[in-house]
């Protein structure tokens, strides 16, 4: 991989990058790479696939619809002790 040195980063920008790195529990280097990938529209490194086929659904449910969905899944989330003997 290529290494790039960026000079004269404004203090305010550096502070934002450092804060984002801390908040995401990643290194400053990984944070900058993630932001550059996002800004350029490039896919992440090999082995990290992003899928966009369900993007239209993200955030489209009302709170009631989300609650209904969770209720329907309750049975599937229960652990059956008989299956773990």
Question: Does 47 map to a domain?
Answer: yes
Question: Does 49 map to a domain?
Answer: yes
Looking at the 3D structure of the chain, how many domains does it have? 1
pTM exceeds 0.85: no
- Residue range 21-66, pLDDT digits in tens: 999 999 999 999 999 988 888 866 566 666 777 777 777 889 999 8
Question: Does 4 map to a domain?
Answer: no
Domain that includes residue 28, residue range: 11-79
Question: Does 3 map to a domain?
Answer: no
Question: Does 2 map to a domain?
Answer: no
- The residues, any chain, with a CB within 8 Å of residue 21's CB and separated by 6 or more, are 27, 28, 30, 31
Give the residue among 3, 68, 57 at the shortest CA–CA distance from 32.
3
CA distance 58 to 73: 18
pLDDT class of 81 with cuts at 50, 70, 90: confident
Question: Does 84 map to a domain?
Answer: no
């Amino acid at each position: 991989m290529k290494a790039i040195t960026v000079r004269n980063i404004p203090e305010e920008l550096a502070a934002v990058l450092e804060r984002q790195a801390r908040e995401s529990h990643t290194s400053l280097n990984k944070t900058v790479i993630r932001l550059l990938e996002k800004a350029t529209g490039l896919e992440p490194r090999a082995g990290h696939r992003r899928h966009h086929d369900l993007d239209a659904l993200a955030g489209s449910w009302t709170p009631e619809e989300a609650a209904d969905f969770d209720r329907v899944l309750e049975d599937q989330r229960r652990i059956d002790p008989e299956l773990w003997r």
